[in-house]
Chains A and B, each alone.
Chain A
């Protein structure tokens, strides 16, 4: 059902991203998108930077979503995804839904004492589930645009190496 070959109207959303997305078997392959994104923004980074990546990525995605479906709906979806994710990865219970997206202060404070793999798994799970739930709710109408938002934010994250940043912006 997803519009596999469609590019969002704001195609300024990097061709590099679109090459990655259209290479996937389905545009709703959120796992592949988030893995590629995480590899770029937080590969080999400290747990604190992983949490920062989650906050920034989620904030960008929800900033795109909020004007479309409204504040209350965005929060309802976020809450549900977080609650469900925290059942699998308990440290996600320290993440709260804030006005601009996620408030990760609690998780950041504990990041040093948690296994990095758990943090990385949590960040991935939240983003993949959020994009997955939205995809199922909207027949993937928003999927390309939301994936693109993730890539846009990558260019601004300090963890991204200059070479990779240029690749995204190209």
Chain B
């Protein structure tokens, strides 16, 4: 056999080399194609789930189902919140386009059935679809999920589908409850705003009545009116706290930042608290380090912080005790502190002290919003707030405000 014949017959070493190279190239191409398909699958799953946070576990389940036997070909999710306008669809590269319309129609019909808007649940006989409702722990229908495998699935696939449904339902329920809370807080803020306006009118009228010549010298009506005025003032304060709470939650606390000298700020706070302290013979002491640079702050908000901290300190101080306010420099901030010699706060209660509605020692007047608002105000200034406390020895609340 000459060289030319050997080449033709494929016996030549060169031909064998070329064949081997071709086979290796084909294998690499197949690998690449497989990798591309996997990547596409992952990408499509990610696109389906991108709208929902916390879907990592769902994503893992979908990927494993897509490479299972039989492989999952399609998933269509319709949520009660987004409705039929925004079905989340995923399909593997092997799934046909034509099935999508059937799938969306089927899952939409299932959602309508379970939501009670349709008495009929049609049957899709052309495809091996599995459609399950997504329900919350209190029975609310959150959506429906359709899955399609390459062939009719068995019970093991349904168990996986059940797991998938449970995970998606948990995520949707969390979001649903979050949205519900947002709506409640929005309503609360609106109601508080209206109440404050109405109470302002009542407050003004009561002040005028108290000063009117006809009632000025009558003891009983004066007493009653003053009691009504105190209650109205308390309600104004409560509604203001509710509004501030809503603003802190929404991170939209209105602020008017200006350069403020520290000494006058502390002096004003002491003057505002002194009548309350005097009632209990409590001494208010201030120590301000000399030559403090001005702070950049909203004067009304800073007074609100002091008012909250000082009223708490007065409330928990023994009669005849002392409360100390201190202001000192701390890098690019001024560090303020309010120290009382009250009963102190148990260590277990300290971490939740600045949470909403937190009241380690519930009082008749407190709402548990004061320290939450204090934290919101200080944080809105770019500062920080914390407490150091020892049971039986008292507490010191610290907060920082930035230099101007």
Contact = CB atoms under 8 A, between A and B. Distances in A.
Q: Do A and B interact with each other, yes or no?
A: yes
B119 A84 contact: yes
Interface string A62-81: 00000111101101110110
Interface stretch (B152-160, B373-381, B396-404): B152-160
A133 B169 CA distance: 20
Given A76-B139, A76-B141, A137 B155 contact: no
Contacts of A1: 125, 128, 152
Contact of B162 (A9, A73, A79, A80): A73
A77 B110 CA distance: 11
B137 interface: yes
Given A139-B152, A141-B153, A72 B166 contact: yes
Given A80-B114, A84-B119, A139-B129, A73 B135 contact: yes
Contacts of B157: 141
B133 interface: yes
A68 B165 CA distance: 11
Contact of A68 (B116, B119, B139, B162): B162
Interface string B92-134: 0000000000000000001001101001011101001111111
A136 interface: yes
Nearest to B135: A76
Contacts of B110: 137
Q: Interface size class for chain A?
A: 20 to 34
Nearest to A133: B121
A11 B4 CA distance: 68
B174 to A, nearest CB: 14
Nearest to A28: B123
A104 B133 CA distance: 24
Interface in B125-182: 125, 128-137, 139, 141, 152-155, 157-159, 161-163, 165-166, 169
Contacts of A3: 152
B165 A70 contact: yes
Contacts of B141: 76
A125 to B, nearest CB: 13
A138 B158 CA distance: 8
A154 B166 CA distance: 32
B165 A141 contact: no
Which 4 pairs of residues, A with B, have the shortest CB-CB distance? A76-B135, A69-B162, A72-B135, A70-B166
Interface of A: 1, 3, 9, 67-70, 72-73, 75-77, 79-80, 83-84, 133, 136-139, 141-142, 145
Given A73-B166, A75-B139, A137-B110, 8 more contacts: A3-B152, A69-B158, A69-B161, A70-B166, A79-B139, A139-B128, A141-B157, A142-B155
Interface of B: 110, 113-114, 116, 119, 121-123, 125, 128-137, 139, 141, 152-155, 157-159, 161-163, 165-166, 169
